[in-house]
Structure 1
Amino acid sequence: MMNRARIFLIGVMMLFILSGCNTDSTSETEVGVKKMLVPLYSYPSLNDSWERLIALKQKTNNLEIVAIVNQSNGDFTQPSTSYINGIDALHKAGIQVVGYIYTDYTQRPVVEVKQNIDAWTEFYKTYGLEGFFFDEASRNEEDFAYYQEITQYAESKGLQFNILNPGTSVDPIYMEGDIASVVLIRETTYEKVVYKTNLNQPTEHTKKAIVLYSSDEENIAQKVCAYALEHDFDYVYATDHGTTDDRWAELSSYVDELAVLISKGCRD
């Protein structure tokens, strides 16, 4: 049996070790590691955006990137060799890939959305597709069941990483109902977003994203990062391209700078 002095010494040593572990854990949490959510809406061989994103991932390996790929707004019945090769290349580079599907704020019949899910799954799951980006999502409580049904259907296909895009704050049930991995609650310009209030809070299962367009202010990458960090966004992206539908046709001109900042937790 050990004497009291030895027991006391061992106790102090264990406390020191545990304290060190907690300190490391806390500092890691404080870093607030961010991720990049990129609307990669260009055709795979149309420009160099896909290759640039892969190179960016290889150069900034600790950065988590989610790419939203968009074949015919998600409404197609045949696979594309270009998309097969592109999705496969993104996946092999360590980039998460989700497929675009629009919901027209619940005006699209659920059966049509499920058909889109089936097509994406049949043609691209084996090449690395991990889920879906459901665009034009409602923010209203009464529409929650619609999105619950389509996300559960996606999960039944083995595609677990699903994103809703209302582009604005939502009823809390969307964050608390555990139906999506991410909700994109800010899609606007930096000029407008800095005045936005009523931000949802992330939950254990559902994180929030911000995607900005037509944002080219001085030091914009640093400003976007600072805003995202202040308001607990986990997924971030911004581009200087304009307000038309082609704003996602090419990567942001400052995407490399933004990626480096995000990879450092947006703290530099």
Structure 2
Amino acid sequence: MPINKLMASVLFMGLLVQAIPGGAQNDDLRIWKEFVADLQAGKMDHPSRIRPYYPEFQGPMQGYLEQLRAGIAWDKLKSDPEVFRVGSQIHYVVALPSVGDERELSAPFCFTFLVENGRWYFQHMETIMIRMDKLGPLPATSFPDVPAERKAWMREEIEISDQVRLFAFLAKDKGKDFAFSWFRDGAGYALAARTWVPFVRPERAFVLYLCWEFAHRRENPVTLEKLTDSEALVRITPRWFELYERAAHLKPQITPEDHRRLFETIWHDRANNAGWGLAISYEGEACLFRLTRPNR
């Protein structure tokens, strides 16, 4: 086929493909606008309006919708979302303006709806999206990425989810005392600090390694405020607690009290194995590690 006819055919087919979903896309936008109106009016709080991926997500998803309802600057919500239909699901990608300033609420969000028998149901809400819809032609050697901060969140969500799942399994099978003791990995952590930071005394190496790990491996805000041979003060804003509030799958597996106790158990054991006593306190989102040793 001559190249000009081939290009004309491709163009025609492209126009045809775009023309087919036009009506469907209008219907998809209608669903989005109905959702926005119902959310604003407080009509999304009934469980029958939500069909989550798993039943245990029902409560968290209702809570997230209530937070959104209170946090969205409705008068600034003007743009239509990107729309992706996948089988019986519709995904809407949209930035949401927040109340009180011009910033956006963790933009962009991906809202997922399930359509069954002509009715739509809210299913999921997510702020992590890997835009593989933008993948180039094959063979591909590079792939769409996400911002570094989002990847750091993903790494910690995977790690903490594994820890919580294991804790829940052990607590059910062996009891909570056994489950907490399983996570006392202080001997190995103290050895890692001593061998990976070999240029200072072991007790200082522990504090410095702790700061390095939070800053670079976990990418959490951390400030070393004081360090002597007998005392150290480290201020951290760990994702550990924010993840619990934002990740729907954690709350059904562990109580907030046990989630905090697990965090503190891990760090008390690590500090003790490095020869430090540790007192943990909280100031808003910040976590303060006060480490002390006998005067030498």
Tell me which of the two structures has the higher relative contact order, counting C-alpha pairs closer than 8 angstroms and 6 or more residues apart.
Answer: 1
TM-score range, shorter chain: under 0.3
Of Structure 1 and Structure 2, which has the larger fraction of its residues in helix?
A: 2
**What TM-score, normalized by structure 1, do the two folds share?**
0.23
Give the number of the structure whose alpha-carbon radius of gyration is greater. Answer: 2
**What TM-score, normalized by structure 2, do the two folds share?**
0.21
